[in-house]
């Protein structure tokens, strides 16, 4: 150590002379503004250069760690650290020989690092970079190259028939003039497969190197898109076009377009920002799928724009909030691509069940329940027909006495038998065996309230609800009519308001698919209908914008289709995938004489795997 605390720097004489001459020559010339020394220098040699730069009036700075630490000397004014990079032009023959050399002897990771601009190099790059990338799910490093030309492939005519072909020049011009471009087009316009190819073709024509990263939200989409692009270019997958997903990749040193998932690119950016120094374009597809990966990716990419001025970002989506993305990226241009319209026929579940004559074992077992529901409808229709004339032309006092003696009086034993209805109809169903007598009394009270229509009969119903802990939405065992429906049909406004105050549901339906509002309208109880309408408007129940369409579609179904649909829903859990029904439908479509392909969308990859073997057997 010296007297001032500075350690002695001991270097070889040849090294001292060579570096001194290099720095003196560098100081006397106007260009270049920076002088970079190899990263193979030792700490002692770098310390000597730092000291020599100070004595010559130059600045110096070391970057990197370990074996990747390098030193740069630069002049105090006019450094390219804040200016554009220097350009190096090569002739056509030189470029051709250089490309052949690189293809025959690909550069390794260390050489790629040295080829990058000093300010954009990755800070940490070990010898094990290639293995780390494969095990941690990061993108493999590579340098931009001139893509090979690809003309007159078998699919060229198909590419020109896509709607996006007419906007090719407009898209390329927008990408050249702006850092961020938003391409919006409906499914089928060709944006996912064509935009990356347009960039490759442009760079092949102009002789400019490129390296493109295209992200997809799902692994299956990444593999499918890369395979399609390679097929359209008539190339082998893994050469110019490749993909990289978790635990799998098809890339090579020649790969210039890598299709990956959003998570792969995010994991690469977590390692170091310098990994984007060799990337010229980033294409983010399906940006409207606002999951956590895509949102974080857009945040990181926007932060990288000021640092990498040559980086181009292309956002693509079928349906997107345009203004939100335009505002987020500072007014980026938007290119809207039209799409071709095709005739689409929509078949609903009831249509499929009818066309295929599908009937599972569970549906056969539940047929008895369906027959019971039909019996409930007939019973309810009998109620309505018996009381219709009484509601319209007689007083409520005469309704009870005008009942024909031949009509069954529904004793307790007979009515309680209908309590074997579905559990959701009553809170009593959980303890049906213990409270069967109470259910029988409630059924009899509802029957008497409807037939007689007296205040005493409805008071008895309210007594059971308020004192005997019977659900306010309890439905009759044989007709599935609730107290609210009967009060609406009889025009008992006071009882109606009291039931609504107790929380009665206005959306419950009887076996004939009537709500309480339908009961009031059918029996011309205007005041009761107004009370129900006001309640539904207040609570926003049953009056959503979708209900008219749902009701319209429900009325369009035939009675047979409605019964078949109801039987299916009571036989299969909608949370699962009905493989048997899918196979039955595929056989129906396959046996038709129409040519074409069949595309089946399943919930996820977990559903696809177990279904492949049954599909193969079914074929």
Measured CA distances, 382 to 75, 391, 479 (Å)? 101, 14, 10
Q: Start-end ranges of CATH 3.40.50.300 in the chain? A: 118-337
pLDDT at 68: 74
Name the pLDDT band for 435 (thresholds 50, 70, 90).
Answer: low
Strand partners, 210: 145
Q: Start-end ranges of CATH 1.25.40.20 in the chain? A: 362-569
* CB-CB neighbours of 287 under 10 Å: 23
Is a pLDDT exceeding 70 seen at residue 399?
no
pLDDT at 129: 46
Strands 212-216 and 180-185: unpaired
Contact 570, 423 (CB under 8 A): no
442 closest CA partner among 455, 425, 454? 425
pLDDT at 468: 81
Q: State the average pLDDT over residues 472-500.
A: 87
CA 172 from chain center: how many Å? 28
Tokens of 448: 């008497």
CB neighbours of 318 closer than 8 A, spacing ≥ 6?
184, 185, 186, 187, 286, 288
Per-residue model confidence as pLDDT tens digits over 413-429 = 333 333 333 443 444 44
Is a pLDDT exceeding 50 seen at residue 477?
yes
Per-residue model confidence as pLDDT tens digits over 204-252 = 999 999 999 999 999 989 999 999 999 999 999 988 999 998 888 889 8
Per-residue model confidence as pLDDT tens digits over 53-69 = 888 888 888 888 776 78
Per-residue model confidence as pLDDT tens digits over 257-281 = 999 999 999 988 887 767 788 899 9
Return the percentage of the chain with pLDDT > 70, whole number: 75
With 0-12 CB in 10 A as exposed, 13-18 as middle and 19+ as buried, what is 23?
buried
* Termini Cα distance of the chain: 84
Tokens of 206: 């102009």
Q: What is the DSSP letter of 344?
A: -
pLDDT at 612: 60
Is a pLDDT exceeding 50 seen at residue 9?
yes
Is a pLDDT exceeding 80 seen at residue 47?
yes
Q: What is the DSSP letter of 6?
A: P
Name the pLDDT band for 546 (thresholds 50, 70, 90).
Answer: very low
Is a pLDDT exceeding 70 seen at residue 571?
yes
Name the pLDDT band for 395 (thresholds 50, 70, 90).
Answer: very low
Q: What is the CATH number of domain 118-337?
A: 3.40.50.300
More confident call, 424 vs 351: 351
Per-residue model confidence as pLDDT tens digits over 585-594 = 888 888 877 7
- Torsion sign across C-alpha atoms 301, 305, 308, 312: positive
Phi and psi angles of residue 337, each rounded to the nearest 5 degrees, phi first:
-110, 125
Strands 281-285 and 212-216: parallel
pLDDT at 128: 41
pLDDT at 60: 85
pLDDT at 609: 66
Name the pLDDT band for 549 (thresholds 50, 70, 90).
Answer: very low
Per-residue model confidence as pLDDT tens digits over 269-328 = 887 767 788 899 999 998 888 778 888 999 999 988 888 888 999 999 887 678 888 888
Name the pLDDT band for 140 (thresholds 50, 70, 90).
Answer: confident
Phi and psi angles of residue 345, each rounded to the nearest 5 degrees, phi first:
-105, 130
pLDDT at 552: 47
Q: Start-end ranges of CATH 3.30.1370.50 in the chain? A: 13-74
Phi and psi angles of residue 327, each rounded to the nearest 5 degrees, phi first:
-70, -40
Tokens of 246: 């978790």
Proportion of the chain in helix, strand, coil states, percent, rounded to 5:
55, 10, 40
For the residues of 548-600, what is the DSSP string, one character each?
HHHHHHHHHS-HHHHHHHHHHHTTS-TTS--HHHHHHHHHHHHHSS-------
pLDDT at 388: 55
Name the pLDDT band for 77 (thresholds 50, 70, 90).
Answer: low
- CATH architecture type of domain 362-569: Alpha Horseshoe (1.25)
Contact 434, 406 (CB under 8 A): no
Distance, CA of 192 to CA of 216 (rounded, Å):
9
Identify the top-confidence range among 156-160, 186-190, 575-579: 156-160
Measured CA distances, 21 to 25, 27, 39, 197, 275 (Å)? 6, 10, 19, 49, 35
pLDDT at 616: 58
Strand partners, 185: 337
Distance, CA of 514 to CA of 500 (rounded, Å):
17
pLDDT at 618: 55
Tokens of 563: 């019964």
Q: Which residue has the tokens 């709607």?
A: 163
Phi and psi angles of residue 246, each rounded to the nearest 5 degrees, phi first:
-65, 125
CB neighbours of 351 closer than 8 A, spacing ≥ 6?
561
- CATH architecture type of domain 13-74: 2-Layer Sandwich (3.30)
Is a pLDDT exceeding 50 seen at residue 579?
yes
pLDDT at 361: 80
With 0-12 CB in 10 A as exposed, 13-18 as middle and 19+ as buried, what is 297?
buried
Name the pLDDT band for 110 (thresholds 50, 70, 90).
Answer: confident
**What's the mean pLDDT when you consider all of the chain?**
77
Q: State the average pLDDT over residues 570-595.
A: 79
Is a pLDDT exceeding 70 seen at residue 109?
yes
- Torsion sign across C-alpha atoms 597, 603, 605, 607: negative
Name the pLDDT band for 7 (thresholds 50, 70, 90).
Answer: low
Q: Which residue has the tokens 């289709």?
A: 561
- Torsion sign across C-alpha atoms 391, 395, 397, 398: negative
Name the pLDDT band for 507 (thresholds 50, 70, 90).
Answer: confident
pLDDT at 617: 58
Is a pLDDT exceeding 50 seen at residue 412?
no
């Amino acid at each position: 150590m010296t007297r001032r605390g500075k350690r002695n720097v001991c270097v070889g004489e040849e090294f001292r002379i060579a570096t001194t001459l290099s720095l003196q020559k560098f100081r006397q010339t106007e260009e270049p503004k920076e002088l970079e020394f190899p990263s193979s220098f030792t700490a002692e040699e770098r310390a000597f250069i730092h000291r020599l730069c100070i004595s010559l009036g130059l600045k110096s700075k070391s970057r990197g760690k370990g074996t990747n630490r390098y030193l740069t000397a630069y002049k105090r004014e006019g450094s390219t650290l804040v200016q554009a990079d220097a350009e190096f032009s090569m002739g056509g023959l030189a470029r051709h020989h250089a490309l052949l050399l690189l293809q025959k002897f690909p550069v390794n990771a260390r050489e790629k690092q040295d080829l990058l601009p000093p300010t954009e190099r990755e800070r940490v790059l070990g010898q094990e970079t290639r293995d780390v990338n494969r095990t941690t799910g990061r993108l493999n490093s590579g340098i931009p190259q001139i893509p090979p030309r690809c003309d007159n492939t078998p699919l060229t005519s198909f590419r020109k028939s896509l709607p996006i072909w007419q906007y090719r020049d407009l898209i390329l011009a927008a990408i050249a003039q702006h850092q961020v471009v938003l391409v919006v087009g409906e499914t089928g316009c060709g944006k996912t497969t064509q935009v990356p190819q347009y960039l490759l073709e442009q760079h092949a024509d102009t002789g400019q190197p490129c390296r493109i990263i295209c992200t997809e939200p799902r692994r299956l989409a990444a593999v499918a898109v890369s395979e399609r692009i390679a097929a359209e270019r008539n190339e082998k997958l893994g050469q110019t076009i490749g993909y990289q997903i978790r635990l799998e990749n098809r890339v090579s040193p020649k790969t210039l377009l890598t299709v990956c998932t959003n998570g792969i690119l995010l994991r690469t950016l977590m390692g170091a920002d310098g990994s984007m120094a060799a990337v010229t374009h980033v294409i983010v597809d399906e940006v409207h799928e606002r999951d956590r990966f895509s949102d974080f990716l857009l945040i990181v990419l926007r932060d990288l724009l000021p640092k990498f001025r040559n980086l181009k970002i292309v956002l693509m989506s079928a349906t997107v909030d345009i203004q939100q993305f335009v505002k987020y990226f500072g007014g980026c241009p938007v290119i809207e691509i039209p799409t071709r319209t095709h005739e689409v026929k929509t078949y609903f579940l009831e249509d499929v069940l009818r066309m295929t004559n599908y009937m599972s074992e569970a549906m056969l077992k539940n047929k008895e329940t369906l027959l019971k529901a039909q019996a409930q409808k007939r019973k309810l229709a009998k109620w309505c027909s018996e009381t219709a004339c009484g509601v319209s032309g007689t007083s409520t006092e005469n309704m009870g006495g005008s009942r024909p003696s031949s009509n069954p009086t529904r004793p307790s034993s007979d009515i309680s038998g209908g309590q074997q209805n579905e559990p959701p109809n009553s809170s009593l169903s959980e303890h049906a065996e213990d409270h069967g007598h109470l259910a029988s009394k409630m059924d009899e009270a509802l029957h008497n309230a409807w037939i007689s229509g007296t205040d005493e009969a409805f008071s008895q119903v309210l007594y059971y609800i308020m004192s005997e802990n019977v659900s306010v939405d309890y439905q009759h065992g044989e007709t599935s009519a609730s107290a609210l429906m009967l009060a609406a049909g009889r025009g008992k406004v006071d009882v109606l308001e009291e039931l609504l105050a107790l929380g009665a549901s206005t959306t419950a339906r009887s076996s004939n698919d009537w709500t309480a509002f339908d009961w009031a309208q059918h029996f011309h109880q205007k005041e009761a209908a107004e009370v129900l309408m006001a309640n539904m408007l207040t609570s926003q129940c049953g009056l959503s914008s979708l209900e008219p369409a749902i009701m319209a579609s429900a009325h369009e179904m035939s009675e047979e289709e409605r019964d078949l649909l109801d039987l299916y829903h009571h036989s299969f859990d909608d949370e699962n995938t009905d493989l048997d029904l899918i196979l039955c439908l595929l056989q129906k479509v396959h046996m038709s004489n129409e040519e074409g392909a069949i595309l089946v969308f399943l919930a996820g990859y977990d559903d696809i795997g177990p279904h492949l073997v049954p599909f193969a057997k079914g074929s």
